[in-house]
Amino acid sequence: MDDDGDVAGQMKSAWCARLGAHIAELQSQINRIVKLGLPPADAELAAKAGEQLAAARRVLSKKHRFVKRITGLYADAALANVHEAEVAILRLLPADELGWRGSRVITQARLHLAADDERLVNLEAALKRNNNLLTPDLRELAVSTLHAAQQAEEAERARVCSFSQIIAASVVIMTVIAALFAAWGYVVPAVAEKFCFTPPEGMVCPIGHSAQGSDLLLVLFIGALAAALAGAVSLRSMRGTSGPYRIAVLLLVLRLPVGALSAALGILLISGEFLPGLSSLDSEAQIVAWAAAFGILQETVTRAVDKQGQLVLDNVRAPNRGFEQ
């Protein structure tokens, strides 16, 4: 670790390591610019940029709670500080070093701003007239364009973070509902009895021939197990992400309580003769088999959520990637 506290190898994830390395590079630029000599006003700006990078380091090195890690909530604070430091560096660069910085600004702006954004259009036209070289008279336009592009990127990432939080909350809520339902069926035999059937040969329950709390537990477990297997199959169509977001993991976990509740609801529908042609099950194996079938059927719901999650991730634009509306 150097005097600025930069060391990418100690970061907790690949994304944190990459951002940590970028922070170290930005800090080296600030240190070099300061050594070249700055007027008091610019020196204050450089000091503020250093503080922003220090704040980003603290966010990356801090041990965050599980929810923040799984949803990527901590990333917004780190990126916001890094972005402001990048803007400050562009303001502070010596005039003879501006040169090709314009191309970097244009690349960033094209990723995150609309093609007809006035700042982007004006900067592109000015650079084209100037052989693609950024000159001091274009510095403020470049700063404004870069800042707007970074704010647009932060908005894109905020939507991903918000979606992650929604999925995480859904996982918690569905799990609590499934747990309460299981506890209810375990302590109230009349609830467990709803999962039993009465063919001519006598009462048939998921476990044995009399209603007990473990009947509902078995139905919920089989539904969750079937959902887990269906989720494993769906992995073939899932793509990873280079960002700090764990949407794919959350979506896989969501399948478990949804599958459990789908199995329980499906057996109740059969027991209540709601489904035409299905009014009674004759054996324990049939009840368990239908619980598994309904657990797999949750894919019709979660697959739609998968698509929305991938769309949200795709809308965070990065170099060499397109954008989906």
- For 107-122, what is each residue's pLDDT tens digit? 999 999 999 999 999 9
Residue with tokens 């009014």: 279
* Residue 289: pLDDT over 60: yes
Provide the pLDDT for residue 83. Answer: 93
Contact in structure between 146 and 109 (CB atoms under 8 Å): yes
Q: Residues with Cβ < 8 Å from 224, sequence gap 6 or more?
A: 256, 257, 259, 260, 263, 295
Q: Residues with Cβ < 8 Å from 305, sequence gap 6 or more?
A: 167, 251, 254
Contact in structure between 163 and 316 (CB atoms under 8 Å): no
Considering the chain, what is the average pLDDT of its residues?
Answer: 84
Length, in residues, of the chain: 325
pTM listed for this prediction:
0.78
Contact in structure between 292 and 225 (CB atoms under 8 Å): yes
Provide the pLDDT for residue 240. Answer: 63
Q: What are phi and psi of 167, to 5 degrees?
A: -65, -40
Helix (H, G, I), strand (E, B) or coil at 197: strand
Provide the pLDDT for residue 319. Answer: 53
Span of 71-85, 148-162, 212-226, 289-303 with lowest mean pLDDT: 71-85
Give the dihedral sign, CA 4/8/12/16: positive
| Ranges of each domain in the chain | 8-158, 160-314
Q: What is the DSSP letter of 136?
A: G
Span of 43-57, 126-140, 156-170, 195-209 with lowest mean pLDDT: 195-209
- Six token digits for residue 118: 């006035």
Burial of 321 (0-12, 13-18, 19+ CB in 10 A): exposed
How far apart CA 63 and CA 49 sit, in angstroms, is 24
The band of 221, judged by pLDDT with boundaries at 50, 70 and 90, is very high
Span of 12-26, 55-69, 110-124 with lowest mean pLDDT: 55-69
**E strands present in the chain:** none
224-271 residue pLDDT tens: 999 999 888 877 766 666 667 778 888 889 999 999 999 999 988 888
Q: Is 93 left (phi over 0), alpha (psi -120 to 50) or beta?
A: beta
How far apart CA 22 and CA 188 sit, in angstroms, is 59
* Residue 324: pLDDT over 50: no
292-309 residue pLDDT tens: 999 999 888 888 887 887
Burial of 183 (0-12, 13-18, 19+ CB in 10 A): middle
Over its C-alpha atoms, the chain yields an Rg (Å, rounded) of 28
155-210 residue pLDDT tens: 888 888 888 888 989 999 999 999 999 999 888 888 888 888 887 777 888 887 78
Q: What Å distances lie between residue 315 and 80, 155, 241, 306, 309, CA to CA?
A: 18, 10, 12, 14, 10
The band of 33, judged by pLDDT with boundaries at 50, 70 and 90, is very high
Instruction: Give the residue-averaged pLDDT of 42-65.
Output: 88
Q: Residues with Cβ < 8 Å from 30, sequence gap 6 or more?
A: 46, 49, 50, 53, 85, 88, 89, 92
Question: Could you tell me what percent of the chain has a pLDDT over 90?
Answer: 39
Contact in structure between 83 and 49 (CB atoms under 8 Å): no
Q: Alpha-carbon dihedral of residues 244, 250, 251, 254, nearest 10 degrees?
A: -170
